[in-house]
Amino acid sequence: MLAMFLALSTFAAAAPATPAGQEADLVIQAGDMDNLGYGWPQGFDVFSGNSTPSHSYPFTPAAGDPPGTDRILLGSGYRGSPPAGQDGYTGHARRPDSMPVPIALRYGTKGIPVKAARLQLFVDDFQAPLLGARYKVTINGQRALFLEDIINSLRQTGPVGKLVSVQLPEEFLWPVRKGDFSLLIDDPDTGAGDGFAIDFVRLLINPRDAAHVGRVTGRVTDKTTGRRLGGVQVTADGLVSAAADIDGSYELTGVPAGLAGVTAKLKGYKPHTLTVDLVSGRSASLDFSLERGGEEPIPESPPAEESESVAVMPSDAPPAAEAGAAVVAWGRDESDSSDVAWHSLYPSPSFSDDPRRLGEPQAKWTASYEFTGDQLCLSIKDLEAPTASEHTLALGYTVTLQGRVFDDGRTTRTFTLYRFKAKPDRSEIGKCVPVQALK
């Protein structure tokens, strides 16, 4: 099982192959380190924090590239009319392959006590500020706001790629300890036309000091008065910390290269986080202006849109059987091969959709799935098609398993559960299929 995610032997020639023992007690990786298949320019160091030169597109995954890596992805909220235009990737995105899915790392911790963990991901062509995307990042179903700040600040027009390297906050260490870590980056809401890609994801357990570090300096002032603020605590990536001098200037050394969040905190002011883009051996400048006020409230996760009748997984402990399965519910108009609805069901096992806003043909239903032992059961409930239509609609699911296979040995299968013309003659349809653990 572990071998599936350890791609250490497939580094392209120019990438450094640091032995795991020098970087951390344990290094787990999903996806090969190959710049989406383009390879690395001579002398390019993946961990330096530098962007790659721009590369061509489109590209497609090679056999064995795990789900969610080395392919063009597009937020599940995309419905074909992006509010702020679209990028080149969007024109090449094809469902279902472009649907964001969780990237899963499953491993044995070999009895190593997990004290800290660093997450590294190599990301490509994220352009949220330009194209109006708003990415949500979840780790085992739990919102990871520290990563959202970084992902939503990226301007990777080119397209270019870059390493994001962050220390995991304590509240995200439980999946690391469990050996069942799952990362999902998606824009489910805005419909933005911002295609993106992920080359690889690495998890470093009990990391050593980063080999590639830089320096961050700057000044902290009061936003209203412009007065320089001394005593402000400035922390990079939850790791390196310093207090600002009496004149408001601060210096952080030994900050890991790549993209990191830097937070400035002072009693009586709202904490403020900015993203720094740091190249190994260099300095970056980052000034803060703080606003008076109390603690900034942490935004709550949006209320679930799911059907009330189906239990939603608790966010802090999804059953192992569910983690890592990517389930996408879809509706398709077979008369003209157009999409009626797409919705990723991970990390929640259900959703209700009413795609009437998309115009004819109309249908609404609740989709859900459940693992019961070695069965995966898919269902459609409360199906209605309020307006008779001459079109033929098909509703179904595309499921990608990780760590398990279907009875035919495949990890991805598409199921059409129901097909109807004009009016459905059933409102509930279910199907169970056997799944088995990979040996």
Which residue in 27, 30, 31, 105 binds Ca ion (CB under 5 A)? Answer: 31
Give CA–CA dist 328/220, Å, rounded.
Answer: 46
Q: Does 350 bind Ca ion (CB under 5 A)?
A: no
Contact by Cβ (8 Å): 156, 142: no
Site string for Ca ion, 192-231 (x = CB under 5 A): --xx---xx-------------------------------
Report in angstroms how near the CB of residue 58 gets to Ca ion at its nearest: 12
Q: Report in angstroms the alpha-carbon separations of 297 from 272, 291, 293, 294, 303.
A: 12, 14, 11, 9, 17
Smaller CB distance to Ca ion: residue 199 or 306?
199
Asked if 186 touches Ca ion (CB under 5 A), the answer is no
Run of H or E including 182: strand 180-186
| Among residues 34, 186, 333, 353, the one that binds Ca ion under rule CB under 5 A | 34
Stretch binding Ca ion (CB under 5 A), from 47-55, 82-90, 161-169, 307-315? 82-90
* Sole window of 68-76, 183-191, 314-322, 369-377 interacting with Ca ion (rule: CB under 5 A): 68-76
Least spacing, CB of residue 72 vs Ca ion, in Å:
9
Structure tokens at 287: 């000034």
Kindly write out the interface string for residues 278-317 of this chain, putting x where it contacts Ca ion by CB under 5 A and - elsewhere: ----------------------------------------
Q: What is the DSSP string of 398-413?
A: EEE-SSEEETTS-SEE
C-alpha 123/C-alpha 46 separation (Å) is 11
Binding of residue 187 to Ca ion (CB under 5 A)? no
Quickly list H helices, 244-393.
Answer: none
In 145-162, which positions are buried (b, 16+ CB within 10 angstroms) versus exposed (e)?
bbbbbbbbbbebebbbbb
Q: Check if the beta carbon of residue 383 is closer than 8 Å to that of residue 307.
A: no
Q: Closest CB to Ca ion among 172 and 200?
A: 200
Residue nearest to Ca ion (CB): 125
Q: Which residue has the tokens 């044995």?
A: 108
Using CB under 5 A as the binding rule, whether residue 125 contacts Ca ion is answered as: yes
Query: Given the complex with Ca ion, which of 158 and 230 has the nearer CB atom?
Result: 158
Residue 127 or 167: the one with the smaller Cβ distance to Ca ion is: 127
Closest by Cα among 358, 308, 306 to 327: 306
Applying CB under 5 A, among 23, 25, 70, 187 the residue interacting with Ca ion is 70
Q: What are phi and psi of 22, to 5 degrees?
A: -85, -25
Shortest Å, Cβ 100 to Ca ion: 13
Residues that bind Ca ion (CB under 5 A): 31-32, 34, 70, 87, 125, 127, 194-195, 199-200
